[in-house]
Amino acid sequence: MTKLSVNINKIATLRNSRGGNVPNLLKVAHDIEDFGAEGITIHPRPDERHIKYQDARDLKYSVRTEFNIEGNPIKSFMDLVLETKPTQVTLVPDAVDAITSNAGWNTIEHQSFLQEVIQEFQRNNIRTSIFIDTDAKLIEAAAKTGTDRIELYTENFASEFDKGNKNAIKPYTEAAILAHKLGLGINAGHDLSLENIQFFKENIPNLAEVSIGHALIAESLYLGLENVVKMYLHRLK
């Protein structure tokens, strides 16, 4: 079974645009869980342009499913995660000024750094995941860091699928097979949508979790949040 973790960054973007508390992030997260999602994901960025560090502290007490916090393990992020103790931390090597996450880890170059931070999180009973591309050597190096899981960075798959290139799934299938052999759990995310999720799920063995935000919130403008969450759950069965 593949769990759906809904990324609520865009709800915070909308809220922040007026400076008040509409929409209420905690209520939306609560409702998303009631609609059947098995997790809530946030990606607090250092400039707090959407999720604020305080949101992570507040959500810690209200999320009833799996709580996943994503980000680059700079000191302030590490402190926040160690304070809030989510179910999972997903490490993403994003630059401060990146519009969105745009690359996976070079797990060869950063192996000992990743090993250190992963140990720190695991000592605190926080499951770890590393955002990564499909290259076999990077996945082998990820296994050496001791991480529990990897998150396959699916932007390339999504954009190729959109152009009709279904072969773009191949490196992801191979990466998932290798990761499973190496004992790694497999997550995936970035630009997954109602259009591509079923094909992705059908071709990725042992897919534990997908985190989806941008498309899911955009689709909800037309179809409604409850419907959309249920449509994803149906496609992930």
Ligand X SMILES: CC(=O)[C@@H](O)[C@H](O)COP(=O)(O)O
Ligand Y SMILES: NCC(=O)COP(=O)(O)O
Report the residue number, 55 or 191, with the smaller CB distance to ligand Y: 191
Residues whose CB falls within 8 Å of the CB of residue 73, separated by 6 or more in sequence, listed in order: 81, 89, 91, 117
Instruction: Decide: is 147 part of the binding site for ligand Y (CB under 6 A).
Output: no
Annotated catalytic residue: which of 33, 66, 151, 190?
190
Instruction: Decide: is 115 part of the binding site for ligand X (CB under 6 A).
Output: no
Among 194, 214, 218, 226, binds ligand Y (CB under 6 A): 214
Examine the residue annotation and report whether 219 is marked as an active-site residue of this protein: no
d(CA 11, CA 57): 17
Instruction: Decide: is 70 part of the binding site for ligand X (CB under 6 A).
Output: yes
Annotated catalytic residue: which of 70, 151, 209, 219?
70
Among 35, 37, 40, 41, binds ligand Y (CB under 6 A): 41
Instruction: Decide: is 9 part of the binding site for ligand X (CB under 6 A).
Output: yes
Which of ligand X, ligand Y, none sits in contact with 149, Cβ below 5 to 8 A by type?
none
127 is in an annotated binding site: no
Q: Residue 40: which region, alpha, beta or left (left: phi > 0; alpha: psi -120 to 50)?
A: beta
Residues within the interface to ligand Y (CB under 6 A):
7, 41, 70, 151, 189-192, 211-215
Q: Which residues are catalytically annotated?
A: 43, 70, 190
